[in-house]
Amino acid sequence: MEAVQFCLFKFFVTKDDPQHNFSILILGINLACFVIISVSYIKILHLTALSNRAVAGARADRSFLLHTKISMIILSDAVCWLPFITYALLHYYEIENAEKHYILFSVILVPVNSVINPIIYHYNHSFVRQKCRKLFNGMVQIWGFLST
């Protein structure tokens, strides 16, 4: 059987790795971006909540969609990036050998965020909501089948 190889940036490094400074810098930038984005979105949530107290009706419905969308963006970023950064730091400090999970993180978990974000940004479209609900319900049914 022929081995399949591909090139990925090496995020999971140890202190003796020659590129450890660069890897930690990139992870730090990713973490800083996550924090800045999260704080900014939370500020937007807060400001829209304040403005909605005085308004009702259709504008309040749009605001609810905005709150849902922002919450989903923050949650998807947190679910995709925080475990990756945490695991990379655990590997760096030699608390956990993360190399066995590198493919899971680098090829599946982190890129999933790039796939999820366009769906979230267009979540207010009824077609996308309908398809997401259908997909979610299907996943729940499969999960229920697998767990029994």
Tokens for 75, please give them: 């949650």
Residue 124: its pLDDT value, please?
A: 58
Residue 4: its pLDDT value, please?
A: 56
Residue 145: its pLDDT value, please?
A: 61
Residue 12: its pLDDT value, please?
A: 83
DSSP assignment of 68-116, as one string? Answer: HHHHHHHHHHHHHHHHHHHHHHHHHTTSS--GGGHHIIIIIIHHHHHHH
Give the burial class of 100: count Cβ atoms within 10 A of its Cβ; 0-12 exposed, 13-18 middle, 19 or more buried.
exposed
Residue 95: its pLDDT value, please?
A: 92
pLDDT band at residue 122, thresholds of 50, 70 and 90? confident
pLDDT band at residue 3, thresholds of 50, 70 and 90? low
pTM recorded for the entire structure: 0.66
